[in-house]
Amino acid sequence: MKIAKYEHHGVEVSVRDDLKGRHREFCLCHMCKRFNPGVASNCRIAQATFKNCVEFNTTTPMWECPEFSLQETENDKEEKEAGGKVSRA
């Protein structure tokens, strides 16, 4: 497994080469109703995690979370209105 080094927000960081730039693919927050970055109503857990990332120049995808709440996409809403089930796992 290769480790890459690159400059992220002005600081050199190390990352698994195969995962570089892919944290959003794995992070639960990007599918969660509670995720509102940049506004006061943002999730307290996501906000604390982000604060830690800024302080230590890390990138931390959320793998598991007790407060996750699935965000509906426009496709989900249309499917529901048409009588279908939301099938994303």
Q: Which of residues 37-76 bind ligand SF4 (CB under 6 A)?
A: 43, 45-46, 62, 65, 67-68
Q: Which of residues 1-30 bind ligand SF4 (CB under 6 A)?
A: 28-29
Distance CA 72, CA 47 (A): 21
Mention every residue, 6+ apart, whose C-beta is less than 8 A from residue 32: 43, 46, 65, 68, 69, 70, 71
Between 19 and 61, CB nearer to ligand SF4: 61
- Please select the residue that binds ligand SF4; options are 8, 20, 23, 34, rule is CB under 6 A: 34
Distance CA 3, CA 86 (A): 38
Q: Give residues in contact with ligand SF4 (CB under 6 A).
A: 28-29, 32, 34-35, 43, 45-46, 62, 65, 67-68
